[in-house]
Structures are given as C-alpha cells and as structure tokens.
Structure 1
C-alpha cells in the first residue's frame, strides 16, 4: 500500500491504521526539526494539509493523538488544518476545533498574509465542485454553503466577521459574490421543481373533485343516496377522496408559495427547504389517497364476486406510490438532513482524540509557548 494512498483514503484499513501508529511512534521520539522534515511533502506541501484537504480524519487523528502540536502547524499562507477544513468543506476535520479549548480563538484570528482572508472569508469562497455535489439540487447546495458560513461565524469574534481582506471585501460580501451564480441556479431549480410538482398536484385535485360527483354504483332514484352507502368500502372511498382533495390542495398552495417567494439568501437555510418538504410530502400523501379511492371503487363494484380482481388492482395501484418514494427518496433525505439535522453536521465528536502529552518531546509549559510563537500576527 503506497503512502499517498494511505493518507488520502478516508476510511483506513485496520492493518494500515495499525502500521501508521507504529511508524508515527518512532517518528515523534525525534526532535521537532526532524518531525517537520518528515511531514514535509514535495512542492512545499505538508502531509497533514493534504490529509485535511481530502478529509482523512482517521489519519489525522492517529498523528494528533501522539503529537498535538500538529493542530497548530501553519502552511506558507498562515493556514492551519482548520482553515483547510473550511476551504474544502471537510466537516469531520472542522469538528476538532471544538476540542482544543482557548486555542480556538487564536486559530480564528489567523489570516492569509497576502490576500488578508481570515477563516470566515474561506467559508465565503465557493466550495469545490466535488464537495458541492454531496447534496442534490442547487438550492440545497446553497443551503449547505450558508450553514458552513454560519457555523464558522460562531467561532470567531464579531469584529473579525466584519474584517475586510486586501481587496476591501468583508466575508459576507465575498460570500454573496462567490455564490451569486449558485443562488440563481438554486432559485431556478426550486421554481422548476415547484412548478412541476404543482402541475401534478393540480391534476390530482381535479380527479379527486370529479370523483366526489361520480359515485361508484350510482344513486337511488327516489332518495338520491348512494346505492352502496352502508358498505365499509364506500366509507373508505369517501374519506380517501376527501383526503386526496385536501392534501393535493395543500400541496398546490405550498408550491405556489415557493414560486412567489422573495428568494433571499437566508430563505434557503430553512424557509424554502421546509416548504419544499411539506409540498413533497403532501403530494405523496395525496397520491396515496388517490390510489385508495381508485382501489376502493373496485372493491365496491366487485364486492359480490371476483374480489381477486379488486385485490389485483390494489397491488398494481401501489406501484405509483412506491415509485414516488424511490424517485424522491434521495431529495427528501437531503432536505431532512440539511434542514432538521444540521446540528449533526458540525456536532463535536466525543473522544475523537485525547492528547498524550507524556509522549511529547517538550515539557508542557515549553510546548504551549512554542505553539503560541508559531502564530504570525
């Protein structure tokens, strides 16, 4: 197994992890200069920054457990592994920042020596395409970018959030400029999705409304009441038809609200995804109710004989509902995960690593001083 493959692979093989632990224990007994030479890579790239860029949390955890100073290593641009985590949207690496105590404040103040970008500016820069594509749809991609920006904002001082880079741009201005095209794509994607779903919901509402006046089995001429009024299947038919009409109408109104939204950046965090989720769920339930209306009609008609025909139709009618779930499952999961479980995206892991200071090469006091000296103000 090549060295490059080991530290770029996010999920390490147990044997590979065991090998890295043994090799690293032999490295840390050397002095700091030898350790620095070991982690250097060609073209002035350090091993830990390449690993952070690719999100290899297992590899970094093994190294950090034995040599905590790696958390505070900076590259030629004065960036730490946390800056790389933000730049390349590696949330597993970024979670470590919540476990380093007061050093978090020091890291948050570091910025690019030439461009003047701090860690929030990096959150304002558009993520690489491979990190954007982990969620479906431009609107949800913009939502993920906004969540990253808000999360990074929480770890820095309010004054740093308004700091300008060398081009005179604050993080918010940089975010708006970098994500201008993605915002347009997100608005178009949301409108196209809402428009298509609204057409389907409108058709279902029309069918449900018409079914209410086309009673299966007809009515009695003298009283006008349905002939099969006392049958349980007729009761299910009436309830399902009313539910289908109500749910499809709610779906239409929800998608109409999406089409008439103002589409501000903040709306993509919670409001628009929530309305889209409500619209999709009510549309699904209206499809199920419509299929129930269709099936109960056969049970009413074939109640006295050939019930196998009604059962066969019921089995076939379940197909559209199952197909809907299959086609929309990924989208619904992304909406729920990004909107209602976003805390899990940046939630610190417990016992992710523990410092083994007794194995460090310097006394604790001298180590802390040496770490502080590494910061360039």
Structure 2
C-alpha cells in the first residue's frame, strides 16, 4: 500500500493541475473577450500558444480556443500549420477536431492542403510511436490509416513526387518504415505460430473424443450407450463445434504464416485474419470445455447429482481467464481494424 500511495498522489496532483490549467485558460479567454476581436486574433496567431498546445496534443485547449474564436480557421497559413502540428504528433482526436472545423472555403485549396498533410504523414519520427498503440503491427496499421486519411480526397496523390525528391509519397512512406515492417511481420508470425499450436492441440483432443465417447459403445450395434441422455447430446454438439472451430482457426493462422507480409497487408488483410483466428480459437476452447464438462456429468451424475454445479464453475474458469488475458488485445484489434477513431467524424459543436 505504501508503494501505491505515491502513485495515487501523483495522479491526483496531475489531474488537479490539468483542471486548474483549463480553468485558467477559460478565464484568460473570458478576459480576452472584452477586447476587440481582431486584436485578440492577432495575438493568438502570433503567439504560437495554440500551435504549441496542438503539438503537445492538448485537446481541451485547442477545442476551447476554436470554440471561442472559430475565425482562426479562416487564416489559411494558421490552419495549415495547425494541421501539420496535429499530424506530426499523430493526435487523432485533434485531427478529427480540426477536420470538423475545416470549412467549405478550403475546397478550392484542398489539393495544396493534402500535399502538405501527405508530406507530414510520409516522414517517420519518434513522435509517431503513440502510447495508445501496443505492438509494431498495430502501430504500422495506424500509420497506414494516417496515410489513407491524408490521401482520402484523391488516391493518386500517393504516387506523386515528394517535394524535390525523385521518390513518391508512398515510396518515402514505405522506406521510412522498413524496420517497423520487419517488427510487425515478426509479431504476426510469432503470434500465429503460438495460436496455431494451441488450435492443433484442440483439434487432436476433439477428434480423439469423437471415437472415444463417454460410456463407450454398444458391443453389437456400435451405438453409444448414453445416446439418449441429454448430456451426451451436449457433448456431441460441443465436440463437433470445437473441432470445426479449431480447424478454422488453424487455417486462419496458416494463411497469416504464408502471407507475403507486404506493408499494405497490415491495413486490413492480416488484422482481419488474426481477428478471425483468435475468434475461432476462443470458440474452440470454450466448446472443448463444454464437451469436457458434459462428459464428467455423464460419468459422475449417477453417484453425485450435484456434480454439474462445480463442473460448470471449473469449466468456465479457463474460458474466463483466456478472455480476460486476450480481450484487451482482441478489442484493440477489432476497433483498430473495423472502427478506427481516425475515420470517425467529430460532431460540430453548437
């Protein structure tokens, strides 16, 4: 408890500092409202306060300034600098904010803005390694999403030349992330190999259980003795689903292992295969435990009528533990692949 107390104290102090800093900014803007708007706008545009807040990812300050002075986005030079700072820092919520505030007047100069953004996205720096992304594969996927967002208006931009360089934006982007691509590919291979091993073991168990049914078979007709028991039906169905799910999971992981590992594959193809593989792996594990629990119920039910209660509890524990350990990774992968925050529009403020 003594070790946790300083951490809790520091967290409280940081939250308190953040709260009072925001309140101070509100008081400053309230005071500035008493002065003429052109004078205040000139002060904000020349002081770089807002650009510094955007570079550091302070969403509340940027949102507060734009809420009080939406005219700031009418300055083309400032809007360009603001978007560059946001993209260079890979601040997703700020990117959604400035896009929501991006007025229709920029349609005439949309091409110029896209070239600027693609230049900021193509280059790699340590600031691209955001804390909300775990693992090289997710980081590479996030970088690809940033590039896709920058070229959203016209996909042909990716093959245009990067300033005076002879290479295109896409070539510069891929070249800057060669090491990240190797790390992401290695992570995919290691994860797929480990999961496919587990799925193969489940296949072996489920396949063997098909021919060694609980209670055995009738010596004359070969029909299972407990065929008419409800628990046996549960066992048969669960074992079949466990076998089919584990086979499907193995095929998904084999598809990952035999992929070409091109940089484009990390945007949708490989993450989708990994999601399907993990989904069917979890299902196969759950069905295997159900089959095991139903087998014990068949064998012990005659002696212990209450045995199904502890069996259900014990069988549920590994499934819950697996879900608890793998769920954060799974949720992050699903959200990053099928519903990335970068593509979600931010509602305009009233």
Match of 1:364 in 2: none
The aligned counterpart of 1:49 is 51
Q: Secondary structure at the match of 1:118?
A: helix
Residue 261 (structure 1) shift: 0.7
**1:136-189 CA-partner distances (Å, limit 9, x unpaired):** 221121111101101111247955861422343322121111111111111110
Shift of 1:30: 4.8
Inter-CA distance 298–221: structure 2 relative to 1 (3 Å threshold): same
Structure-2 change in CA distance of 1:104 and 1:66 (3 Å): farther
Q: Residue 268 in 1 paired to residue 269 in 2?
A: no
In 1: Cα distance, 2:276 partner to 2:155 partner: 37
Q: What per-residue deviation string (whole Å, max 9, x for no partner) do you get for residues 292-316 of structure 1?
A: 1110011101121213334213211
Q: Any idea what the Cα deviations from partners look like across 1:106-160, whole Å, max 9, x if unmatched?
A: 476269xxxxx82201111235457434122211211111011011112479558
Which residue in 2 is equivalent to 1:90? 91
| Contact kept in structure 2, 1:248 and 1:282, CA below 8 Å | yes
**Using a 3 Å threshold, how does the CA distance of structure 1 residues 350 and 110 change in structure 2: closer, same or farther?**
closer
Q: For residue 32 of structure 2, what is the aligned residue in structure 1?
A: 27
Q: Is the 8 A contact 2:137 2:266 kept in 1?
A: yes
Whole-angstrom distance in 2 between the partners of 1:320 and 1:203: 16
In structure 1, runs of 5+ residues without a counterpart are: 1-7, 112-116, 355-377
Q: Distance in 2 between matches of 1:274 and 1:177?
A: 25
**Structure 1 length-normalised TM:** 0.79
Cα shift readout 1:189-221 (whole Å, capped 9, x = no counterpart): 011110100000000000001111111112222
The answer to whether the 8 A contact 1:237-1:297 is kept is: yes
Residues 286 and 157 from structure 1, CA distance in 2 versus in 1: closer, same or farther, beyond 3 angstroms?
A: closer
Query: Distance between the aligned counterparts of 1:170 and 1:27, measured in 2?
Result: 45
Match of 1:347 among 321, 336, 344: 344
> 1 CA distance for matches of 2:153 and 2:87?
12
Paired with 1:258 and 1:157, the residues of 2 have a C-alpha distance of 27
Q: Return closer, same or farther for 1:17/1:108 CA change in 2, 3 Å cut-off.
A: farther
Q: Is the aligned partner of 1:102 residue 2:102? A: no
Question: Cα 1:156–1:216, aligned 2, differ >3 Å: closer, same or farther?
Answer: closer
Coordinate RMSD, CA, aligned: 2.8
Q: 1: CA distance between counterparts of 2:132 and 2:300?
A: 49
- Select 2:142's aligned residue among 133, 144, 157: 144
Larger helix proportion, structure 1 or 2? Answer: 2
**Aligned residues between the structures:** 332
Comparing 167-176 with 195-204, greater Cα deviation is found at 167-176
Question: TM-score, length-normalised on structure 2?
Answer: 0.85
Residues 1:327 and 1:176: Cα distance change in structure 2 (over 3 Å): same
The worse-fitting range, judged by mean Cα deviation, of 138-147 and 309-318 is 309-318
| 160 and 93 in structure 1: CA distance in 2 versus 1, 3 angstrom threshold | same
CA contact (8 A) 1:97 1:104 kept: no
Matches of 1:272 and 1:325, distance apart in 2? 21
